[in-house]
Amino acid sequence: GENVEQHPSTLSVQEGDSAVIKCTYSDSASNYFPWYKQELGKRPQLIIDIRSNVGEKKDQRIAVTLNKTAKHFSLHITETQPEDSAVYFCAASGPGGGNKLTFGTGTQLKVEL
Amino acid sequence: DGGITQSPKYLFRKEGQNVTLSCEQNLNHDAMYWYRQDPGQGLRLIYYSQIVNDFQKGDIAEGYSVSREKKESFPLTVTSAQKNPTAFYLCASSISIASNEQFFGPGTRLTVL
């Protein structure tokens, strides 16, 4: 089945700096890659996703890049703000896994003032 | 994601007891999912259902059972056979299993005393 690895597990940045979180996946047939943000004690919420026919997608301060050849994708947050502090999860899915999402282990992002 | 609810928010159980977690959605979604979340391990799939009266085991189904008698409801029973049930349980739904994007409920925190 699919295996998703996520790094780093914790990340501290100064307010205004950029943050990058990286994930790798194992199944070359995977074709959908979402990123979820989870604040403490709350539900995960989708912040951005990308499909395998696209190399990059942006939404204001958030961007995701996908390298299908290397089987890795990354989340980029620019001009970080304190409210960006949360746990971020990547995930992957595709027909090889019955279209079920396989999640990474999460990255605790802390934006310091 | 406002259309998917879970109850109760907190649940305490004595060892040896079965307990049922509720998940309801009014989004008219066909697919529903149950995940378990432990610190540092991301979200792991317990069971999922693609359609009413049908469900399949996920990666960690042992000690759990589900039913899908109605489209709106997908309850999860944590049985006494689950050796380490203390965790945060998240229910999710999607239009179909092929639609990929999942919406999460607020979660139930189960503690075994």
Structure confidence by residue, pLDDT tens digits, A20-38: 999 999 999 999 999 999 9
Contact at CB, B104 and A45, closer than 8 angstroms: yes
Question: Under 8 Å CB-to-CB from A58, ≥6 apart: which residues?
Answer: none
Judging contacts by C-beta atoms under 8 Å, the chain A residues touching residue B102 are: 34, 46, 101
Asked if residue B3 lies in contact with residue B92, where contact means CB atoms within 8 angstroms, the answer is no
3-state SS of A24-85 is: EECCCCCCEEEEEEECCCCCCEEEEEEECCCCEEEECCEEEEEECCCCEEEEEECCCCHHHC
Contact at CB, A103 and B43, closer than 8 angstroms: yes
Tokens found for residue A108: 């605790």
Among the listed residues B87, B52, B64, B37, the one whose alpha carbon sits nearest the alpha carbon of residue A36? B37
What pLDDT was estimated at residue B1?
47
Q: Using CB atoms, which residue from A41, A44, A98 is nearest to B104?
A: A44
Rounded distance between C-alpha atoms, residue A45 and residue A82, angstroms: 17
| One pLDDT digit (tens) per residue for chain B, 113 residues | 459 999 999 999 998 899 999 999 999 999 999 999 998 788 999 999 999 999 999 999 999 999 999 999 999 999 988 889 999 999 999 998 887 789 999 999 999 98
Contact at CB, A100 and B42, closer than 8 angstroms: no
Handedness of CA A66, A79, B37, B69 (dihedral sign): negative
For A45-56, what is each residue's pLDDT tens digit? 999 999 998 899
Contact at CB, A9 and B100, closer than 8 angstroms: no
Q: How many CB pairs under 8 A join A and B?
A: 53
Q: Find the closest chain A residue to B58 by CA distance.
A: A100
Question: For residue B49, how many C-alpha atoms fall within 13 Å in the half-sphere facing its CB?
Answer: 25
